[in-house]
Structure 1
């Protein structure tokens, strides 16, 4: 869990660029569905291979592959090669960047309105 005691969270230039990549990758509803599918497939004990992810999200394999590549590039997902293909996993630490960003902004203005709005939007 991230330490939230310091409301004045600062990011280095590299962290800001990574934060932007994570937000951009997670802004698309199909992309969020991909991440949800990977999480659900992992929880059910199934492999999170492209064909299963495409089936779970009702996307073509090509579209699912593009979305997976964007999320891997942003660090939200990782892929591990196995006999059957590439198994995808969610990097939860990358997603906490979104939560930390919202929390730091909300605490700076002394309100949880921003955090509530972000939570309602499904981030």
Structure 2
């Protein structure tokens, strides 16, 4: 049975530069696709967030650059909680799949591995 599942992911960047944001987001999305084996046609939507210190580019532009032209995408700014991880891009991808929830592989790269150490060691 096909159901909708969410896949979480996050990655950090060294600086607030458009090329760094786009390249990191694309790397994150490619890792999510590779580990979970889906195509753009399986994606219901994707929600991207950035920490308040990233303002130079929309991460969703990386998904468009990858060919996700028909996928509904939105960008948001995370709450600026003091002392939390900086320069972080997060994504929640909704896919239509037959995978069970425990088979989904969430992806945390670079400095973002600290966000969910329980999931990064799978």
TM-score above 0.5, yes or no:
no
Which has the larger strand fraction?
2
TM-score, length-scaled by structure 1: 0.25
Which has the larger helix fraction?
1
Q: Which has the larger radius of gyration?
A: 1
